[in-house]
Structure 1
Amino acid sequence: MNLGYDRDEARRLLEEELAEGSYQRQFTGPLRRTLDAFLEWLTGRAFSIGGFDVPYGGLLVLAVVSAAVVILLAVVRPRLHRRAPKDQPVELDPQVTAAEFRARAQQCARAGDINAAAQYAFRAMVRAAEERGVAHQQQGRTATEIADSLGRWYPPAAADLQRAADLFNRSLYGSATLAEADLAFISGLDDQLHRAPGPERLSPPAPPLAAPR
């Protein structure tokens, strides 16, 4: 029986037939059919308020997604904070002197790398305190911990030491680009501590005396 279709026309009719939704679902497998059934079920879910049917399928999906986001933040975010780079110890080569750290800071500053210069200036300040006997070796401590330690010896400079530690952390672990004024602040603090009284004249605050009864 000749239907009068040439080969190209017959191919076109076959492609149009296969493009129908019924055929598409047959070739997508059980996963597609399950998904279609679930979406259809959601579309039909509704509750009545004052005689009006309000679909809650979309609200249910939104609630599930919101709960997943909350759980993700509760579980993952604390772990990210615990592994924050700023909690890493400051690298302080025990073979490098404060003068050498200062020279490296000046070299980086001349090259225009203010962040690296500030980091070397911070290390110079710490190494200088070690050399003067004010602080023990600071290996394995974070910049914040080092600032806390030095602040107990230099109480008037405690706030400035914390600011220097923050600049160090922001320049090395954050995305901040420090300015020359930031470098000058750390270098100036280094000089200020160098001119402060030595450890033989420094001592922790004495406890208050009890008043006689």
Structure 2
Amino acid sequence: MTTELYERDDARRVLEEELADGSYQRQFTGPLREAIDSFLFWLEDRAFSIGGVDVPFGPVLVLIAVAAAVVVIIMVVRPRLQSGTVADGVVEIDPQVSAEEFRSRAEASARAGDFNAAALDAFRAVARAAEERGVVSEQRGGTATEIADSLGVSYRAFADDLHRAADLFNRSAYGSASLVAADFEFVAQLDVQLQTAPAQSLGGVDGPRLAVPQ
């Protein structure tokens, strides 16, 4: 092909003719491209009237899609994110209720199918029982995590289980989790194990204390 110099109009005409070649067009054709083009043309031709003003459907559909995405984030994604960062509040432990009474309340809730309430009282039983045995000082005003930390000093072999029990308490009391029978049974079994486990040291929310004979 010889080299030719073209004026601007001639150069444009040659380029258009070259791009019109089928080798350039094949990759941009097909059923999917035709469907997309047809849908876009359809949107351009559609509009509805508000107060005598024609509003095209295209931008409206985009706004609807954005609004739907926001609703999904608020209703679905946000609660799931929050479930992983549950607030850790103070554990309310009635000073007039014994560990055995907390256990009875927990079992009654479990029989009624309320495993959230059952796990809460089972965790309170763990804390109160440790107080009654003289393993830790009174846990009033402590969070579930702080109580787990305190008991973990005395029962180091159960430190991980204590923190798991505290997490179940927090998820039940302050989150949106629905606990199951296995969750309650885990805390209740932990309570049983701690009743016979030797305390290695004493520590409460107000500081360490001297060990006493068990």
8 Å CA contact 2:89–2:170 kept in 1: the answer is no
SS in 2 for 1:87: coil
User: How many residues end up aligned between the 2 structures?
Assistant: 122
State the one-letter code of the partner of 1:141: G
Pair 1:173-2:174 in alignment? yes
Aligned counterpart, 2:127: 126
Two-structure CA RMSD over aligned residues (Å): 2.0
Query: Conserved in 1, the CA contact under 8 Å of 2:89 and 2:174?
Result: no
> Is 2:147 the counterpart of 1:146?
yes
Q: CA deviation at 1:88?
A: 1.9
- Per the alignment, residue 210 of structure 2 pairs with none
1:187-202 aligned at under 5 Å gives the runs 187-197=188-198, 199=199, 202=200
Instruction: Specify the code of the residue in structure 1 equivalent to 2:148.
Output: A
- Larger RCO (CA within 8 A; separation ≥ 6): 2
User: For the residues of structure 2 that align with 1:182 and 1:149, how far apart are their CA atoms?
Assistant: 22
Amino acid at match of 1:182: D
Deviation by residue 1:187-210 (Cα, 9 ceiling, x = unmatched): 00001110112x5xx337xxxxxx
One-letter amino acid of the counterpart of residue 107, structure 1: A
Shift in Å, 1:20: 9.2
Task: Give the conservation status (yes or no) of the 8 Å contact 1:153–1:203.
Answer: yes
8 A contact 2:153–2:201 mirrored in 1: no
Deviations 1:46-81 (A, max 9, x none): xxxxxxxxxxxxxxxxxxxxxxxxxxxxxxxxxxx9
Aligned to 2:91: 90
Alignment of 1:203 with 2:201, yes or no, is yes
**Deviation >6 Å, runs of 4+:** none
| CA deviation vs aligned residue, 1:107-145 (integer Å, no higher than 9, x gap) | 111111110000000000110000000010001000000
| TM-score (normalizing by structure 2) | 0.54
Output the CA distance in 1 between the equivalents of 2:176 and 2:165.
Answer: 16
Confirm or deny: 8 A CA contact 1:86 1:142 kept in the other structure: no
TM-score (norm 1): 0.54
Mapped to 2, the partners of 1:89 and 1:154 lie a distance apart of 22
1:6-33 deviations in Å (ceiling 9; x for gaps): xxxxxxxxxxxxx899xxxxxxxxxxxx
**In the alignment, which residue of structure 1 is the partner of 2:156?**
155
Deviations 1:88-113 (A, max 9, x none): 21000000000000000011111111
The answer to whether the 8 A contact 1:150-1:158 is kept is yes
Q: Residue 94 and residue 85 in structure 1: after superposition, are their counterparts in 2 closer, same or farther (change >3 A)?
A: farther
| 1:175-194: CA deviation from partner (whole Å, max 9, x where unpaired) | 11111011110000001110
**C-alpha displacement at 1:85, in angstroms?**
7.1
